[in-house]
């Protein structure tokens, strides 16, 4: 991948080397099998380096075209698809999702094993985009509702899409819609909403309306046979080889998870990020209006809803948002928006510095027998070495 001289983009070449040193340290100490780190500023790549291996057993190195499971970095892409339909006036954000998905018309809220409460307000599309709908994920384990998800194996991507969504609608919510923030399968529901409202299969909508126009040639819900050799191996903490979580990413899934199903490359994801940083446009292709992007990247959470992560953070429409860098206690900028994936991938977009950072790897940091999980903070570590290299 072509890069621009660091000093032309406000970076110190010597200080940029600390990024590579950090990634190599992760590899040498057995924290990560390998990683690709990419930094872009003012629309040009300033740093793109690989470290370690995409497959330890065969000693195959990470390369710039390596394909990674991006898991929850799928969510921002699905959220963009939703907002593209919003711009077409296909729905309003405050409308009940049951207007379009009648499966959700009779939801209840869990009180105890014998009691379900009526909704105080309907679940809206905005609730789903902001993870405040009351849904959960099945792996949080602090609510009996999660156990219901686990028993039904809702995350396994083998059943037809409509069956999975119908099953989700049978379970009670963890809390009243709009009362709290809780990471959940809300974005998977929105993927189905895109399918219903657009009249296109969700995977076809993403391909035709987002991936193809942006030139994201390696982004899909699986790596086909001709690309399977570029798909990195998935490892667990301690670098033991894992089977694909929930489904085999070398095969088409039973249903396309808008919350965590995509594979992609750093180069492809850069094009998506650059479109967002540009206010919805890339190289003459416009997916969203500037004001829509501004709306998506504002914090939509109230203090009482509890922002995700540490203090100083909030959540927009598909992205985590920095509200106070001092409270975050990491180098960053107000208004930065970001997210990560279960296999330790991470990205952020900094409009203040006109900068994008992407880290791709394939390590699931917590396993069932680890309590507590390892104290990894790849995003925080990467922010420290990226921002210290900015000298303009």
Residues 192 and 215 in one domain: no
Q: Is residue 360 part of a domain?
A: yes
Q: Is residue 262 part of a domain?
A: yes
Residues 262 and 381 in one domain: yes
Residues 250 and 299 in one domain: yes
What's the confidence (pLDDT) of residue 307? 57
Mean pLDDT (the chain) is: 94
Q: How confident is the model at residue 372 (pLDDT cuts 50, 70, 90)?
A: very low
Number of domains observed in the structure of the chain: 2
Q: How confident is the model at residue 306 (pLDDT cuts 50, 70, 90)?
A: confident
Q: How confident is the model at residue 144 (pLDDT cuts 50, 70, 90)?
A: very high
Q: How confident is the model at residue 310 (pLDDT cuts 50, 70, 90)?
A: low
Q: CATH number for the domain including 291? A: 3.40.710.10
pLDDT in tens, 196-218: 999 999 999 999 999 999 999 99
What's the confidence (pLDDT) of residue 153? 87
Domain end among 198, 227, 259: 198
Residues 90 and 219 in one domain: no
Q: Is residue 320 part of a domain?
A: yes
How far from 377 is each of 52, 78, 349, CA to CA, in Å?
Answer: 19, 25, 18
The pTM score is 0.96
Residues 184 and 253 in one domain: no
Q: Is residue 90 part of a domain?
A: yes
Q: Is residue 75 part of a domain?
A: no
Residues 211 and 259 in one domain: yes
Residues 251 and 379 in one domain: yes
Residues 292 and 358 in one domain: yes
Q: Is residue 176 part of a domain?
A: yes
Residue 135 clears pLDDT 70, i.e. is over it: yes
Residue 384 clears pLDDT 60, i.e. is over it: yes
Residues 180 and 262 in one domain: no
Determine the structural domain holding residue 111 and report its residue range: 81-198
Q: Is residue 1 part of a domain?
A: no
Q: How confident is the model at residue 159 (pLDDT cuts 50, 70, 90)?
A: confident
Domain end among 170, 198, 226: 198
What's the confidence (pLDDT) of residue 245? 63
Residue 370 clears pLDDT 50, i.e. is over it: no
Q: How confident is the model at residue 375 (pLDDT cuts 50, 70, 90)?
A: low
Residues 182 and 209 in one domain: no
Share of the chain above pLDDT 90, in %: 86
Residues 21 and 154 in one domain: no
Domain end among 180, 198, 216: 198
What's the confidence (pLDDT) of residue 72? 97
Q: Is residue 76 part of a domain?
A: no
Residues 194 and 205 in one domain: no
pLDDT in tens, 26-69: 999 999 999 999 999 999 999 999 999 999 999 999 999 999 99
Q: How confident is the model at residue 117 (pLDDT cuts 50, 70, 90)?
A: very high
């Amino acid at each position: 991948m072509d890069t621009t001289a660091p000093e032309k983009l406000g970076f110190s070449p010597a200080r940029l080397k600390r990024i590579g040193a950090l990634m190599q340290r992760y590899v040498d100490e057995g924290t990560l099998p390998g990683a690709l780190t990419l930094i872009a500023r003012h629309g040009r790549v300033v740093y793109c380096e690989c470290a370690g291996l995409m497959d330890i057993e065969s000693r195959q190195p990470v390369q710039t075209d390596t394909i990674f499971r991006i898991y929850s970095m799928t969510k921002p892409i699905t959220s963009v698809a939703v907002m593209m339909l919003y711009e077409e006036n296909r729905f309003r954000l405050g409308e009940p999702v049951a207007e379009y998905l009648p499966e959700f018309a009779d939801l209840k809220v869990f009180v105890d094993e014998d009691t379900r409460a009526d909704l105080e307000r309907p679940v809206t599309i905005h609730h789903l985009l902001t993870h405040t709908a009351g849904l959960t994920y099945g792996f949080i384990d602090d609510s009996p509702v999660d156990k219901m998800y686990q028993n039904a194996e809702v995350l396994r991507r083998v059943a037809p899409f409509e069956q999975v969504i119908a099953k989700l609608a049978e379970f009670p919510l963890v809390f009243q819609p709009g009362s709290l923030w809780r990471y959940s399968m809300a974005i998977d529901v929105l993927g189905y909403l895109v399918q219903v409202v657009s009249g296109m299969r969700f995977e076809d909508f993403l391909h035709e309306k987002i991936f193809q126009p942006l030139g994201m040639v390696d982004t899909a819900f699986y790596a086909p046979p001709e690309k399977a050799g570029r798909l990195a191996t998935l490892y667990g903490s301690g670098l033991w080889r894992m089977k694909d979580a929930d489904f085999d990413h070398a095969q088409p899934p039973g249903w396309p998870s808008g919350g965590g199903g995509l594979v992609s490359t750093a180069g492809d994801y850069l094009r998506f990020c650059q479109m967002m940083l540009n206010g919805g446009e890339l190289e003459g292709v416009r997916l969203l209006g500037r004001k829509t992007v501004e709306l998506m990247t504002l914090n939509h959470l109230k203090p009482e809803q509890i922002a995700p992560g540490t203090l100083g953070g909030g959540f927009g429409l598909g992205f985590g948002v920095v509200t106070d860098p001092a409270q975050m206690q990491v180098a960053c900028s107000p208004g930065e928006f970001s997210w990560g994936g279960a296999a330790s991938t991470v990205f952020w977009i900094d409009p203040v510095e006109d900068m994008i950072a992407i880290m791709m790897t394939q390590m699931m940091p917590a396993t069932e027998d680890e309590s507590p999980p390892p104290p990894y903070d790849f995003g925080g570590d990467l922010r420290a070495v990226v921002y210290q290299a900015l000298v303009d």
